[in-house]
């Protein structure tokens, strides 16, 4: 007999874009309702580069969540590391409560025009992060000109391996992995883990450009081949603690997705946990969902596991076409699980 309810330790979304301003006010509630904590990405406009930026941005997030009645939600704050970041800035960020530094190679995704151009020059920064037990989060794609879009993740692996071997006590997360090769590389590096998004468990390149163009499925790193999706599903449901949930929910206004140069990003926050439950159930691995969303990530981050719980019920609902001008992932489709009210 199939389960009709699921009770889980309330989990963590360890890769989340909340943006700022009006979009932040619209989207924060979806993450706060489903997750106790979320790692907040710093590639906002303007970006989060210093301890002072963090303090201001954290206050903006708290204001939105408190207004919606979610005072228990905890944003895990990060700073964006670029070519001008110094060890002193890392120390100041740590004092301000920053848990991780995020690196975007220059130009690889939204708001990464000020990203890193020389990883070797940042080794003193990585050393200070290692000393302070701050995590390094990597958008793992090569920014080199001429690298084909489906190969950019694999072309980054030499950089990842070099950093991991140089700093063996630095905890590194390779974010939003998309290939079977990434699963292999992460599995062999002792100090490296990886986040997997819900949309990469469902999408391949065919779902973006295989028939009609589907701009709301377009993200970076772009979804890859069916065989890659199969390996990601196996990793997420395997019970291997190196792989845990990071949604990479990345909202953009509809007009900024459905246009000549549409932005990369999938807004999956409204459907994250119900959709994960559906995916794990279809894989006959529903008993491993709690590990993926509530235990493995907290353990790697060195955080206590959450104590409160959340319940899902088996009840169909249709995903709305949009929320405040933002189109969610799988808009208009029916999900079979929902958060209990």
Q: How far apart are CA 286 and CA 291, in angstroms?
A: 10
Q: What is the mean pLDDT of residues 250-267?
A: 97
Alpha carbon distance 222, 205 (integer Å) = 7
- Judge whether 34 and 273 are in contact, CB under 8 Å: yes
Confidence at 193, pLDDT banded by 50, 70, 90:
very high
**Cβ(243)–Cβ(186) under 8 Å?**
yes
Q: List all residues 6 or more positions away from 168 whose beta carbon is below 8 Å from its beta carbon.
A: 190, 191
- Packing angle between helix 51-67 and helix 21-34, nearest 10 degrees? 70
pLDDT for the residue numbered 144: 84
- Specify which residues 116 forms β-bridges with: 105
- Mean model confidence pLDDT for the chain: 96
Please say if the pLDDT value at position 233 is more than 90: yes
Instruction: Convert the pLDDT of each residue in 321-340 to its tens digit.
Output: 999 999 999 999 999 999 99
Provide DSSP, 117-177.
S-SGGGHHHHHHHHHTT-EEEE------TT--GGGTTGGGHHHHHHHHHH-TTS-EEE-S-
291's tokens: 């590990």
> Per residue in 126-139, pLDDT tens?
999 999 999 999 99
pLDDT of 292 > 70? The answer is yes
At 338, list the tokens.
């929902």
Annotated active-site positions, please?
248
- The mean per-residue pLDDT over the stretch 248-263 comes to 97
pLDDT (mean) for 31-47: 96
314: β partners = 337
Does 124 have pLDDT greater than 50? yes
In the 8-state DSSP scheme, what is residue 105? B
Is the link from the previous residue into 221 a cis peptide, with omega within 30 of 0?
Answer: yes
- The residues facing 335 across adjacent strands are 317
Q: What is the DSSP string of 74-92?
A: EEE-EEEE-TT--HHHHHH
Q: What is the pLDDT, as a whole number, of residue 111?
A: 76
- As a CATH number, domain 5-339 is 3.20.20.140
Handedness of CA 111, 228, 188, 147 (dihedral sign): negative
What pLDDT score does 106 carry? 85
pLDDT confidence band for 116 (50 / 70 / 90): confident
pTM here is 0.96
| 316 CB-near residues (< 8 Å, 6+ apart) | 334, 335, 336
CA angle centred on 82, ends 79 and 83, rounded to 5°: 150
pLDDT of the residue at 1:
47
pLDDT at 143 over 60: yes
CA distances to 42, 250, 318 from 270, in Å: 21, 11, 11
């Amino acid at each position: 007999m199939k389960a009709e309810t699921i009770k889980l330790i309330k989990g963590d979304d360890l890769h989340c874009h909340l943006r700022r301003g009006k979009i932040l006010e619209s989207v924060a509630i979806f993450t706060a309702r489903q997750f106790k904590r979320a790692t907040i990405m710093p590639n906002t406009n303007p970006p989060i580069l210093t301890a002072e930026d963090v303090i201001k941005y954290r206050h903006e997030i708290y204001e939105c969540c408190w207004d919606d009645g979610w005072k228990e939600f905890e944003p895990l704050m990060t700073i964006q590391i670029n070519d001008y970041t110094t060890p002193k800035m890392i120390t100041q960020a740590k004092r301000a409560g920053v848990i991780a530094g995020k690196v975007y190679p220059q130009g690889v995704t939204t708001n990464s025009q000020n990203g890193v151009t020389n990883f070797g020059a940042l080794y003193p920064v990585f050393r200070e992060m290692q000393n302070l037990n701050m995590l390094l989060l990597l958008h793992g794609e090569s920014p080199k000109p001429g690298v084909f879009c489906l190969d950019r993740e694999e072309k980054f692996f030499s950089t990842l391996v070099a950093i991991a071997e140089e700093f063996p006590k630095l905890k590194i997360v390779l974010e939003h992995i998309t290939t079977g090769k990434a699963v292999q590389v992460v599995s062999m590096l002792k100090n490296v883990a990886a986040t997997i998004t819900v949309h990469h468990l469902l999408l391949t390149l065919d779902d973006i450009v295989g028939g009609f163009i589907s701009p709301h499925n377009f993200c970076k790193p772009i979804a890859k081949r069916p065989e890659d999706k199969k390996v990601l599903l196996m990793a997420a449901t395997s019970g291997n603690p190196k792989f845990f949930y990071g949604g990479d929910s990345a909202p953009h206004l509809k007009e900024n997705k459905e246009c000549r140069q549409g932005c990369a990003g999938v807004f999956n926050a409204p459907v994250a946990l119900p959709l994960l439950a559906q995916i794990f159930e279809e894989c006959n691995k529903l008993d491993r969902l709690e590990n993926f969303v509530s235990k493995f990530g907290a353990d790697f981050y060195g955080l206590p596991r959450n104590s409160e719980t959340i319940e899902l019920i088996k009840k169909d609902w249709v995903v709305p076409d949009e929320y405040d001008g933002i189109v969610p992932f799988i808009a208009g489709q029916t999900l079979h699980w929902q958060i209990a009210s």
